[in-house]
Structure 1
Amino acid sequence: MVQPKSLTSEQYAALHDGLVIPAHPLALTADRQLDVRRQRALTRYYISSGAGGIAVAVHSTQFEIRDPQYGLFETVLRLAAEEVERANLQRPFLKIAGICGPQTQALQEAETAAGLGYDIGLVSLGGLPGLSEEEHLTRIRAVAEVLPVFGFYLQPSVGGMTFSYEFWRVFSEIKGVVGIKMAPFNRYQTLDVVRAVCHSNRRDEIALYTGNDDNIVNDLLTEYRFSIDGLIVTKRIVGGLLGHWAFWTRNAVDLLERIKKVRRNQEFSQEWLTLNVEMTDCNAAFFDPAHDFHGCIPGIHEVLRRQGLLEGRWCLNPQEDLSGGQAEEIDRVYNAYPHLNDDDFVADGLELWLKE
């Protein structure tokens, strides 16, 4: 058994200050084999963009990497870890590994990730419809004995489950839980998590991150406030762990820094509400909610392909591609919101990132 890990004080402080953490895609060749050069280039892009971490082997990396015919789980974790080590960063940078499956599998994945130097396990609560809430909590406690845990509230439309407020209340008390990514794409369910954490004795030990790609700016600007035992308790969603931040990452880093300044100075402009809508409009094109998110991963790939970071938008599943009309929607938002992309930044760095 790998000895339990913990974050350094610098990592802990950075996590709670708020970080841009892209959900790392999978680079494939036309014959759907791993494109190692471009997989490394993606990690280099995120590091160069100023991201505060990467999340690997998560939904955007494609859950199929775990299937025996591909066997890419350890490989993609290792490639990303090597690039982070090679960068020799002088700032905190979190390596987060996606953890999936029943408890036995989840523990194996956590041990693999810990062995490769990963700092946190983002533990999926999806894909296990037979488990009760208590069984989910038992599984989380087990993984937390190996790696610090990021909880993950995944929307049901892409394989997640709906959990009760009471579940998140108990979840928040688990020692070893350092953060929760909220991605139910649902305001009520997001509020359940925030309220549960605020009622926990560990509320100051848990960092909240948005995974709600449909409401990024509002999530990051909102201060939640509850009266608990006669005291006013406030909590913010401090950063994002997002598939939407797997592209246009440089601009995401700038966005979060601007939002932090607004939070410090409490100077709010109505323009932020407009920006939230603009980003949500973009996300609708890329994530394809019009077709139940069928094209969400190919949508991410399409942006990276247009920028030259990926050769194509291929997925391991040959049936996974853009939906009808999605390419035209991506054209539309690209033209409508040119201030949101980082194409110039990518063009400047691409040759360097693609070097063997």
Structure 2
Amino acid sequence: MHSLFREQLQSFLYAYKEPMKERGVPLIFDASKEHQYRKEFFKEDAWEKLEIAKKMKVGFAVKTNTDYDGALDRESPCREKTISFKKNQFLHIHARYSVDWWIGRHVEKKAKMGFIPTAKRIGKLEKCLDEEGTRLGQSSIWECSPPFTVVPSTRPIIFVGPAFHGSQITQLMHTALRSELTKRMGERVRKFKSDIGRKWMGRIDYEESERELKTITALCEDLSIILLEAPHVNTPLDLTGIHLAPIFVQIRVSNRSILMRLMNKTGIQNKKTELCGVDLLNSLPRDLFDVIIEEKGLPEATKRMCSFLEDYWTATHPTYEDI
């Protein structure tokens, strides 16, 4: 009896040690196939999330402070859908895909939706570059600036010129142009007066400007175009250090005879002060302004601005098929 039991036990142990021969059970783990499977799985997931994000509202907007070439980033969820950007471009962020990736697009006409590296992802890449530089004996003493600055979802429109805001001719031109644009663009534009950039004791009141910035940012959440009346802002330099990123439109009158006729027509007395403001604004570099209007009359200036705002509206309100 005992011998029979030992024989059965021995037979069981031999059978247990034999390799499994059931059909469909792999004997060797194939790492390359597993990697390919995971890669395809995550790519399908990325495409699915991308399609979902197209139907989502804009979460927030950023201005880029660095360059990024998505074609070189192998860690992207979907390399062919990775968005590259240059410094000083604007991006709409629609969704968070992971700690390293957002889903969004350039604020441009017919810009496609794709994967954008988060600030954390950019930080990892910069760290890798620093480590590589250290390995090669190249050290950097500069701290990296933030790769993005959060800005309003639509950039407010600020008119400056032909003279400073305190001048009568400037007030008349700005009021007339805002009224015409409101008529032409309808509910797509909103007018708002702000104290942003106000100076106190010769310096910008940053506390007041931060409060105004929060208000303007809230107004832009529905992607309306804000015609911002900012009487304390005479040049783009007046908003240095404030993360508003407005579209600066300069109304420029370079011809002195035309300017004098306008002043005489509107009954302006202190022409010398007006001309000083005109000369100062006209001496600023043209690249400080996004749009320069040099048209001769209000109808022409309105037509030019309407065309610009129509393009900007299309860039900020793409259709599902466009992205």
Per the normalisation by structure 2, the TM-score is 0.29
Per the normalisation by structure 1, the TM-score is 0.27
Q: Which has the larger radius of gyration?
A: 2
